[in-house]
Structures are given as structure tokens and as C-alpha cells.
Structure 1
């Protein structure tokens, strides 16, 4: 017989929300340390469960019918529409089937030269002693790359600014609705009703942006809507131009336009194309840029790792630019990226909502419960990683990833909804790292505070300031 979640130990309800909003990553880490494999949490009357057993995590991520994307991600439909990241059910399955061929490994490999070429163009603007925000640099670089692979053209500054502005506003809006920056609650963190009021306001803001409620207190909502309008203007113009030209092309947009449903012969509408393109731009640009930003920070703090990386690059490349043919030989470079994604996963947690009453680990899970699988928590779990806080790329020697239980290391998610662009992102990160590290060492500006900003992705809140040093 299933047991009731109420029998499990959990944080005190009147402290959990306050602590979570102050430091979500620290809060979840404490929950794992002090409670069990299933940690029930009640926020604003809603039930959440943090899962720390890899078998439970795998069970939830593999069953896309019983466990669907939770509310926190569904509210992004204003930005991403009904793309692969947010859609569900038969529609998601159809879109995944139509989209899968464009991410065949041979297709992905053809973009390797684009990634290296754009990185070299960026390096032409770098010089000894220049101070840069490496997060800004990586964001700009990966945006240029993903726009080139989608549209097969060098985007204008105006087009690039529209896309980056929309993504920035989405991150800002998403973060602000989670922080609950309400003066009443800020002055009295023990006032439970105040926190509930804040939560209600946050839900209201979410509904407003989705067009499901009246817009009030709307500065964030207005900026978000305006940013999405600019994004739509840019993407729809490119789709229309392709339709009028009659040439679909071999880029990602062209391939999306050409795929046909084998059941009825239909192709994607302009709306579907727009939604998938917006999803590709977010997933294909934001996550890789953040991963590389954390890589540079970690390398700057661990010069011995940087020396081993430089040694491999000299041995394999000997000063020439990398190609996809070099990837199998760049084993240590791969491990550096893999270890950075362990410590600073591009996405810190995955949430799913139970569509009906069910059972996990012998406990009854009511319908509508939100289940949380945290990469941040699992990737730093001492049960599976020796010295889990240490940056140690060598730990990935001898196929550690294959030896770990499934549900322990999952930077790209898992199950049928694992990130479709996983191979693209992995190749991009390694090629960019290899291209830059041959020429420059990035030295951290001293005494700066590098603050984590867990939102849709894990960003450095105020960037990462570095001085460029020729190698």
C-alpha cells in the first residue's frame, strides 16, 4: 500500500518559500543533505516534490504522458509558442518526428566549420590586455552561429539585437516573477500571508503575459511583449522572404520547411516554423554561451587544468584551427566541458507535473504535483562524485558517465524529451574552446563578485570580467 507524502520529513512551510526565493540552489542542496530521497514542499498551497533518487528521476523523465512540462516552463509559450520545448502530447510527438532528421549527426557535422569561422572572426577583435565580459562575448558569438545555421546568412546588427533583446527580456521576466520582489514581503519574511500574496501576484503576472488576464503593474510584461513582437517581426520576415524566393535552402529553416508528415503529407505552417525557430535560437545559443562562460571562469581559477588543455591542443592541432575530424582526439577538451556542465549545468533543474494520481518510490503522488529533478543537486552529490565541489576533468576518464547510474548526470535532460540539439551543443562548445584556448588565456579581473542567476538557464548575473592574455 502506498504511503502518504505527509509522513516524510521536509522543511518548515513558513521558512521554505523565503529560503527558496533567497537562494534556490542552496535551498535544494540543503534539502538533499537533511531530508530523504523524496522531499515534499508546499509553496503557496501547491505541492512540489524534490527527487534525489536517480531511479525516480529516470522514471519521471521517461514517461512523457504521465509527467508533462510543469507550469514554470509552460508560461514561456509567450516567447516559444508551441515549439518542442513547450508542446505536449501528439503535437509534440509529430513535431519531434518532423524535426529529428535535421539533427542527424552528418547534418550537425556540416556546421563545424561555421562554428570555427565565427570564433576566428571574434578573435580578430581581441588583443593582449583587452578587458571583456566573456559572458557577453560568448552570447554574441553563439547567437551569430545559431542564426547562421538557421538562416544561412550573416544577420544584421538590427536582427541580432531583436533576438538577443527578446531572450534577455524573457530571462529578466522569468527571474522577476520567481523572486517575488514585493515590498510587503521583503519587510516581513515571516508573514506567510504576505508571501502568499506575492505568489498570487506572480501567478497573475504569468497569466497576463499569456494573455489570460488583465495587464496591470505591467512594466515587465510590456517590455516582454514588445521584445516578443520584435522577435516575431524578425523571424516572420525571414520566413516570408524564403517563401517568396521559392528557394528553401539547406539551412535549418530550409530543412524545417521541407519536412513532410508521412501520415498526411502536410508541412509546417509559418506559426509552427516561427515557434521551432524561436526554440532553436534559445536552446542553441543561450545554453552553450553559459557553459563556455563557466568554462572560462573555472580555467582561470585552475591554471593546472588550463596547462593540460593547452598541452593537448598543441599536440593535436599544433597551431592550426580545429575541425570536426579532430574531435575524437580532443578528449581532455571534452572532459573540461563535461566537468563544467557538471558543476554549472546549463539548466539547474527540470520540473514535471503529474497528470494523474500515481506512485513514486512507494509514496502516493497526487495529480498536479510538480516533481523536480535537479541537475545542480545530482551533479554535486557526494554519493556519486568524489570531492563533488572540485573542478576535476580527469574524473571523466574511463567512461565515468557510462558507469554512473542513469539519472545522476543529465545536463541535457533525459528520456524521450532529451535535448534534440545535444550533439550540436557539445560539438560547438568543444570547437569554440579549442579555437580560443590556442590563442588566448582569460585572466579574471580580481575582486569581482561572480553571482549565479538561476533562471530558465544558469547565467552569471553580472557577467564575468576578464583580461585577455596571448598564449
Structure 2
């Protein structure tokens, strides 16, 4: 079979003749450039699939839902979770659920999935509401004193506490002082990665202490992971791997939800009509003293607000894969070894998929408005077998927060300068967002 080499990729010439190679920039991406801005710029030039050289690697940048469906759902086993982003995650967190592949990943996912079932998450509603109430009281007091609050830092600390309590339960006070660095430091670089070694040791000490105290069957997430067994051999997860998975859950669970809430409050401050519609729904519907999972489906407009914020500011702005074997995406040939970049940010702001794509309009999230859109025109948590394991948990904590706070408070953004985007592992604001809370109706 005739083959040629293109960079580090071997091209099957017969397949390449049958399918096209996507167009793309002739100049390679330089690591001195902002990858986020570079990807957006070339999307404007080349459209929803283009070929580029990124740090010496051949990459296809994808932002068409039908191509994403093939990669993430229909032929997902041909696309390993690899690439520059995954390398950074593996350096930071080890070979956990985000960075692993193949049968090892599948086994880990099976063992961890029960900890994120609807039944498991439903038991956390009261805890999430209680921690939200601590911050709500702080913002109430700030409103009475006419003081501003640091929304970015406050929601980050609150979400971190929720995440740690959900995972560690009664051991929260043991681990919390060691994990504050996650809320205090936004960089996710090599220096930050070095600070993680002591955190893994703390997790291992908690695991060992639970066994000594006969608390291995605790009902928090760590307890459920300690009780999980391999389906084939009936073996528990090794402690070293358990610590990696817990670190992955802490970092991913904290930063994604905190980042989305940060953007959500800014969006509501800029769109008073949407904010008023949200307030009207919350005034109309009672909030129970002890909320349960049954409390939430009725808040239809609240869910639309959250979905629209997720569309505009998906925390997971870039997913990376690597083709194991030759494939094709529509008319385009994908050689084995090609890295694939999928950007939910580009998909969810595509003018081919959304009218006025940069506008905040929760009403577009009505079921009747999505009939003519591909299902993966929205993919903030990924899609297919490797979608985010914590999606239900994240949606629940975001909804609880929004209902509790928006029922009582309005947040004003008085700065003239618009917030800037910072892209690392997630889509964050470059600078802290400072806002002024006001008691509604006063």
C-alpha cells in the first residue's frame, strides 16, 4: 500500500485521494501566541475544520457538530484522549480518569460511575444548600453595608468547600487547609504541579485512617470509591490510583463550576431583562426549607439561564483527542496519529448554528428552539462515553446556587472595563470580578 510521511504522520495515499485534506494556515502555531485567540482567528479564516501545525504536531481543529459526533460518539474508540491539554492534566493530576485511555480508563469509569448516580447526588442537596447559605449570609451583610464583594474568589472558595465535603465528608476539616491553594492560586503550571505531591500524601493518609477506624464504607464519594470493585477480578482500586482519581475530581469539580458561576453573575448584571425574568420565576415558585431533587425540574427559566451561560462560557473550552487509525470526517481524511482539537466554545458560538451567537438570550434554550440544531451544537460537558462524569453534580450545585442567591439578591457590575478571558485548563476570567450585591426590592 502506497504511503507517504507528512511531518510525524504517515498518510495512506489511496485514502487521501478518496478524501480531502482540510485547508489551514501555512505558518505553525507559536507557543508565544495565545492558543485560544489563535484558534478563533483561524476559525474565522478556514471554518469548522482546518489543519495546522501546533508545537510540531499535525492537528485538525474541529467545530462542526457532525464531525464531533463521529469523534466523540460514533467512532470514539478510535480517538484516544491525548494532546497538549491532556499532557498538562497528566502532569498535574497523574493518570486519572481525564488522562487515561483504553481498557484501563473503561474499568476506572465503571468503578467510579456509581458515586455519581442520581441517587448518590440526591443525598448531597441539603449539604450544597447549607454551604451556599454561608456565602449568601456574607453577601447579605455586604449588601446592607453597601460594600462590594469579590465574586470570583467567593464562589471559588464556596465551590471548593462543596467539592471537598462531597468527596471527603467528615474528613473535610482534615483536608481543607491543604487544598486552599486551589482557590487561592489560578495558575496551573509546573510550579503548581509540584505543590500537588503533599496533597496526594494527605489523601493516602485519610484512606489509611479510615481503614484503621473501620470507616471505609462512608457514604461520601471517597467512601464509595474505596468500596468499588473491579468487575472482572473483584479487586478494589489501588490506593495510589485512588489518590489520583480523587485529585482529578477535586480540581475538575472545583474549577469548572466556580468558573461558570463567575461568568453567570456577570452575564445577569449585563442583561436586566433576563435577570427580571429569572426573578419573576423565583418569586412565583416556593423554595423548600429542605430542598430535594424533586424541587428543581419546575425551575424552567433558571435552567435556560444556566444553559445559556454554559453556551457562552463553557468551562471545558478545548477537548483533545488523537486518531489511533485512519478515519474520515465527512469528505476529509484523518491520518492515524492526527491530533484533534474540539472547541465547545467555537461550536457554541458558531454563526452557522446560532443566531446572534455572542448575545446572552436564555429564551433560545426553549425546547422548541432546538429542533433544527444538531444535538452537539451544545456540548459543554463533552459527549459520548467520555462525557464529564460529574455533569449531574455540577448542574445541581449551579442551580441550587442560582436559585438561592437570585431569589434575594441583585449583583451590580460597576466597572467600565469588560472582563477578559483567561484560558488554561478551563475558561476563567483574567482578573477577579468585583460586584456590588443589593437586596432585591430595596
**Structure 1 length as normaliser, TM-score?**
0.83
Q: How many angstroms does 1:247 deviate by?
A: 1.5
Residue 54 of structure 1 corresponds to: 65
CA distance in 1, matches of 2:204, 2:248: 14
101-110 vs 389-398, greater mean Cα deviation: 101-110
* Cα distance change, pair 7–398 in 1 and its aligned pair in 2 (3 A): closer
Q: How many angstroms does 1:417 deviate by?
A: 0.2
CA distance in 2, matches of 1:8, 1:92: 31
Q: How many angstroms does 1:280 deviate by?
A: 1.2
Residue 236 of structure 1 corresponds to: 204
Give the alignment partner of residue 234 of structure 2, picking from 247, 265, 268: 265
Contact 1:348–1:457 (Cα < 8 Å) also in 2: yes
Does 1:88 pair with 2:101? Answer: yes
CA distance in 1, matches of 2:366, 2:303: 11
Residue 179 of structure 1 corresponds to: none
Q: How many angstroms does 1:101 deviate by?
A: 1.3
Does 1:430 pair with 2:442? Answer: no
Please give the secondary structure, in 1, of the residue aligned with 2:16: coil
Give the alignment partner of residue 110 of structure 2, picking from 97, 100, 110: 97
Cα-to-partner distance string for 1:11-37 (whole Å, 9 max, x where unaligned): 231xx525x854433432332332144
Cα-to-partner distance string for 1:168-211 (whole Å, 9 max, x where unaligned): 66x5244xxxxxxxxxxxxxxxxxxxxxxxxxxxxxxxxxxxxx
Residue 140 of structure 1 corresponds to: 157
Q: What residue ranges of structure 1 are gaps of 5+ in the alignment?
A: 175-220
Give the alignment partner of residue 66 of structure 1, picking from 59, 66, 78: 78
Considering only aligned residues, what root-mean-square deviation do their CA atoms show, in Å? 2.3
* Cα distance change, pair 222–50 in 1 and its aligned pair in 2 (3 A): closer
CA distance in 1, matches of 2:395, 2:21: 42
Contact 1:401–1:409 (Cα < 8 Å) also in 2: no
* Cα distance change, pair 228–167 in 1 and its aligned pair in 2 (3 A): farther
1:39-188, aligned counterparts within 5 Å? Answer: 39-62=50-73, 63-72=75-84, 73-126=86-139, 127=141, 128=143, 129-153=146-170, 155-156=172-173, 159-165=175-181, 172-174=187-189
Does 1:31 pair with 2:42? Answer: yes
Q: What residue ranges of structure 2 are gaps of 5+ in the alignment?
A: 1-13
Residue 8 of structure 2 corresponds to: none
CA distance in 1, matches of 2:90, 2:54: 23
Contact 1:442–1:466 (Cα < 8 Å) also in 2: yes
CA distance in 2, matches of 1:318, 1:108: 19
CA distance in 2, matches of 1:154, 1:434: 28
Please give the secondary structure, in 2, of the residue aligned with 1:352: strand
Give the alignment partner of residue 345 of structure 2, picking from 355, 361, 376: 376
Does 1:10 pair with 2:24? Answer: yes
Residue 208 of structure 1 corresponds to: none
Cα-to-partner distance string for 1:427-466 (whole Å, 9 max, x where unaligned): 1111111111112211113224411011101111111111
394-403 vs 409-418, greater mean Cα deviation: 394-403
Q: How many angstroms does 1:61 deviate by?
A: 1.3
32-41 vs 48-57, greater mean Cα deviation: 32-41
* Cα distance change, pair 402–417 in 1 and its aligned pair in 2 (3 A): farther
Residue 249 of structure 2 corresponds to: 280
1:268-347, aligned counterparts within 5 Å? Answer: 268-317=237-286, 322-347=291-316
Residue 4 of structure 2 corresponds to: none
Contact 1:147–1:155 (Cα < 8 Å) also in 2: yes
Residue 9 of structure 2 corresponds to: none
CA distance in 2, matches of 1:449, 1:404: 30
CA distance in 2, matches of 1:441, 1:146: 26
CA distance in 2, matches of 1:341, 1:243: 40
How many residue pairs end up in the alignment? 419
* Cα distance change, pair 65–240 in 1 and its aligned pair in 2 (3 A): same
* Cα distance change, pair 402–147 in 1 and its aligned pair in 2 (3 A): farther
CA distance in 1, matches of 2:232, 2:175: 36
Cα-to-partner distance string for 1:38-74 (whole Å, 9 max, x where unaligned): 2001123311111122111111112343111123213
Q: How many angstroms does 1:85 deviate by?
A: 0.9
Q: How many angstroms does 1:77 deviate by?
A: 2.1
Cα-to-partner distance string for 1:248-303 (whole Å, 9 max, x where unaligned): 21111111111122321111121121111111112221111111111000001111
Q: Which runs of 4+ in 1 moved over 6 A?
A: none
CA distance in 2, matches of 1:452, 1:147: 26
Q: How many angstroms does 1:383 deviate by?
A: 1.4
Please give the secondary structure, in 2, of the residue aligned with 1:42: strand
Please give the secondary structure, in 2, of the residue aligned with 1:351: strand
Q: How many angstroms does 1:423 deviate by?
A: 0.8
**Structure 2 length as normaliser, TM-score?**
0.88
CA distance in 1, matches of 2:53, 2:20: 11
* Cα distance change, pair 304–458 in 1 and its aligned pair in 2 (3 A): same
* Cα distance change, pair 161–370 in 1 and its aligned pair in 2 (3 A): farther
CA distance in 2, matches of 1:96, 1:438: 37
CA distance in 1, matches of 2:375, 2:15: 25
Contact 1:451–1:462 (Cα < 8 Å) also in 2: yes
* Cα distance change, pair 25–401 in 1 and its aligned pair in 2 (3 A): farther
Contact 1:100–1:420 (Cα < 8 Å) also in 2: yes
Contact 1:173–1:224 (Cα < 8 Å) also in 2: yes
